[in-house]
Amino acid sequence: MNTKSVFSSLALLLTAMVWGLSFVAQSVGMDSIGPLTFNYARYFMAFVVLIPISARRFKSNPLLSQVPDRKTFWKKAAMAGFMCGWSLAVGIIMQQYAILTLPVGKVGFLTAFYVILVPIFGLALRQKARPVVWVCCFAALIGMYLMCMGTGRFVLESGDVLGIGSAVLFAVYIIIADHYAPYFDGIFLTCVQMFFASFFCFVPKCIFEPFSLKAIEAGIIPLLYSGIVSSALGTSLEMIAQKNVHPAAASLIMSLESVFSLVFGWIILGQRMSAIELSGCLAVFIAVVVSQIPGRRKAA
């Protein structure tokens, strides 16, 4: 594993930590704000914050010289932002609504299916994954089950479709982001996709959720964290890091989001973890570590 891969893996680990804490922020924010309004506001905040940063980096972006003209560049950037934005927005909306109808632990387990779906979807794009990565995917999934369902039974309910749908969309998002990441500056691509993600949340919000300034003011702290730290910083790190990490391995590292959500839930919200849940954390951690061990190269 080269230096870039190591730093990229650490960046993804930091992303998982930031997103894990954001899960707590989302839980608190949802007490006063609807899911569509919350996600529209967080992504719009991220977009606004990233405009001056991405604009400055765009001016010195050497990748701009690799396209025939600016029109071609912006057309491709718009397509990248659109594809990343819609998959991210639809996935997070489905997850948020699933949280409203199902226990958080069950939604976490259903969403964890993206760990398995990423390498499966990758096969359709002729992306190969080492056998050990497949083993680690299943191990991580079992760990997720222990973390999220260690204190209850897994019973199929009507809202499960939303949880499974969010897993499908997050897997699609990771594959799409992996495809476009090499062509753009990570922060610039994040800025563009945040605009589209905000738009795809704003349209249904106008239909189903009335605007309430008081509700936004009541949940401003969770919104600021989810928008600036989780969406802007976290997604930027993800976009930059995915250039040097296989998407299946990246999904495994980012699956530690659930581990950190349990830890922060225990520290901040006073939620206690059982021995089974702790064993699930350990299973996911081991799966992530093993997946990052480089395989033997075939002799020429």
Cα separation, 299 vs 10, in Å, equals 30
Residue 297 — pLDDT band, cuts 50, 70, 90? Answer: very low
87 pLDDT higher than 60: yes
Chain-wide mean pLDDT for the chain? 81
146 Cβ contact list (under 8 Å, min separation 6): 276, 277, 279, 280, 283
Q: How far is CA 279 from CA 240, 243, 296, in A?
A: 31, 32, 30
Q: How far is CA 296 from CA 3, 130, 139, 247, 248, in A?
A: 18, 11, 21, 20, 18
- Cα 215 → chain centroid: 25
pLDDT: which is higher, 127 or 259: 259
What was the pLDDT predicted at 234?
86
Degrees (nearest 5) of the Cα angle 10, 16, 20? Answer: 150
Token match 């794009």: residue?
125
H runs (alpha helix) in 102-181: 104-111, 114-124, 131-149, 160-180
- Please, is 98 exposed, middle or buried when counting C-beta atoms within 10 Å of its C-beta (0-12, 13-18, 19+)? buried
Angle between helices 160-180 and 70-101 (to 10 degrees): 160
Q: Out of 149-158, 199-208, 259-268, pick the least confident.
A: 149-158
Nearest to 21 by CA among 232, 227, 224, 261: 261
68 Cβ contact list (under 8 Å, min separation 6): none
Cα separation, 110 vs 93, in Å, equals 14
All structural domains of the chain with their residue ranges: 3-291
Of the chain, the percentage scoring pLDDT greater than 90 comes to: 20
Cα separation, 114 vs 130, in Å, equals 18
Region 48-62: mean pLDDT is 80
What is the identity of the amino acid at 72? T
What was the pLDDT predicted at 151?
55
Residue 125 backbone phi and psi in degrees, to 5: -100, 15
Cα separation, 58 vs 53, in Å, equals 9
Region 56-80: mean pLDDT is 74
Degrees (nearest 5) of the Cα angle 15, 135, 290? Answer: 55
Cα separation, 134 vs 237, in Å, equals 25
Q: How many helices (H) and strands (E) does the chain have?
A: 14, 0
Region 14-24: mean pLDDT is 86
Number of Cβ within 10 Å of residue 1's Cβ equals: 12
